[in-house]
């Protein structure tokens, strides 16, 4: 398989991040600095920053309730609380899809880079569901505009059509199939609203309500839940 796919399958990072590691000269195959696009086999020795990496044998998938204030990053030395520092798990896991610092809710983490890559691939249009509260009363016009797509000037993009359901005077549920940076906050702001509270309640087949998780806690998905997620990601039948 291609080197970036191999590194991702080792659970180290996504394929895109793996490409960056290779380009930076931080990856060696059988003692030689690797070139982008090289093919490797299981019998090859692959080292990243001098440490040997191996293919994941047992896939682990975690459902984590990210609290407000925790940052989805592994690089920001100024962040007081990060996902990697909050979760005390003996196996290295990475997340599929970020939640910004001021948002809370479900985050999926795994040591399987192929699963992470499949979940994050925009073309797959996987659903993520959110509960949102804004600072002003909403109406049908607001809901229709959110559902039909909002032009985001700073990104020069119009959001993909989505499902939006009103749940209160100032609250709604929204199901997205794309993951633009701070998308819901940007969409609301473009329509003159500010998000007061944002909570992710579902990622594909995994629902936060299926687990009695409090903010900051996580659970390992059982076989049935894990298999359902892999099937939804197109990785298992």
CATH number reported for the structural domain that contains residue 40 in this entry: 3.10.290.10
> What 3-state class would DSSP assign to 226?
helix
Are 193 and 100 members of one domain?
A: no
From the number of C-beta atoms within 10 Å of its C-beta (0-12, 13-18, 19+), residue 229 rates as buried
> What 3-state class would DSSP assign to 208?
helix
pLDDT given for residue 80 in this prediction: 77
d(CA 43, CA 51): 16
Count how many Cα atoms sit within 13 Å of the Cα of residue 34 in the half-sphere of its side chain.
29
Are 72 and 188 members of one domain?
A: no
Using CA atoms, how far residue 227 sits from 8, 11, 105, 142, 168, in Å, is 19, 18, 22, 38, 35
Are 78 and 46 members of one domain?
A: no
pLDDT given for residue 76 in this prediction: 56
pLDDT digits (tens, 9 = 90+) for 57-66: 778 899 999 9
Q: Is residue 106 part of a domain?
A: yes
The residues with which 198 forms a beta bridge, in sequence order, are 132
Using CA atoms, how far residue 65 sits from 105, 122, 124, 229, in Å, is 5, 23, 24, 17
Longest dimension (CA), the chain: 62
Q: Does an H or E element contain 187, and which?
A: helix 183-190
**Closest C-alpha to 129, from 167, 157, 170:** 167
Are 107 and 221 members of one domain?
A: yes
Q: Is residue 196 part of a domain?
A: yes
d(CA 25, CA 93): 23
The series of mean pLDDT values per 10 residues for the chain, 237 residues long, is 85 81 92 90 89 81 94 69 82 85 94 86 90 97 96 94 97 95 95 97 95 92 94 83
pLDDT given for residue 109 in this prediction: 93
Are 11 and 21 members of one domain?
A: yes
Q: Is residue 224 part of a domain?
A: yes
pLDDT given for residue 78 in this prediction: 64
Are 106 and 221 members of one domain?
A: yes
- Return the CATH number at 112: 3.30.70.580
Active-site residue among 19, 49, 76, 100? Answer: 100
pLDDT given for residue 237 in this prediction: 56
Q: Quote the pTM value.
A: 0.78
Are 39 and 146 members of one domain?
A: no
Are 81 and 118 members of one domain?
A: yes
Q: Is residue 103 part of a domain?
A: yes
Catalytic, 58? Answer no
Q: Is residue 237 part of a domain?
A: no
- Return the CATH number at 144: 3.30.70.1560
Are 199 and 86 members of one domain?
A: no
Are 218 and 113 members of one domain?
A: yes
Are 23 and 138 members of one domain?
A: no
Are 214 and 198 members of one domain?
A: no
Q: Is residue 141 part of a domain?
A: yes
Tell me the residue range of the domain where 170 lies: 127-203
How many domains, in total, are found in the chain? 3
d(CA 198, CA 124): 24
């Amino acid at each position: 398989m291609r080197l970036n796919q191999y590194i991702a399958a080792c659970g180290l990072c996504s394929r895109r991040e793996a490409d960056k590691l290779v380009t930076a000269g931080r990856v060696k195959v059988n003692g030689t600095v690797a070139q982008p696009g090289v093919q490797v086999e299981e019998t090859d020795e692959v080292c990243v920053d001098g440490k040997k990496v191996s293919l994941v044998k047992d896939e682990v998938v975690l459902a984590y309730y990210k609290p407000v204030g925790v940052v989805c990053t592994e690089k920001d030395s100024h962040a007081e609380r990060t996902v990697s520092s909050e979760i005390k798990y003996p196996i290295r896991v990475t997340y599929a899809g970020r939640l910004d610092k001021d948002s809370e809710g479900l985050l999926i983490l795994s040591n399987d880079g192929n699963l992470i890559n499949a979940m994050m691939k925009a073309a797959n249009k996987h659903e993520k569901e959110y509960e949102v509260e804004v600072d002003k009363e909403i109406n049908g016009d607001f809901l229709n505009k959110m559902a039909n797509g909002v032009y985001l000037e700073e990104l020069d993009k119009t959001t993909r059509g989505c499902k939006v359901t009103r749940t209160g005077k100032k609250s709604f549920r929204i199901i997205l199939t794309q993951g633009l940076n701070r998308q819901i906050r940007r969409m609301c702001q473009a329509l003159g609203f500010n998000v007061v509270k944002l909570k992710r309640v579902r990622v594909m087949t995994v629902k936060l309500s299926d687990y009695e998780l409090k903010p900051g806690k996580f659970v390992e998905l059982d076989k049935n839940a894990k298999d359902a997620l892999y099937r939804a990601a197109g990785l298992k039948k």
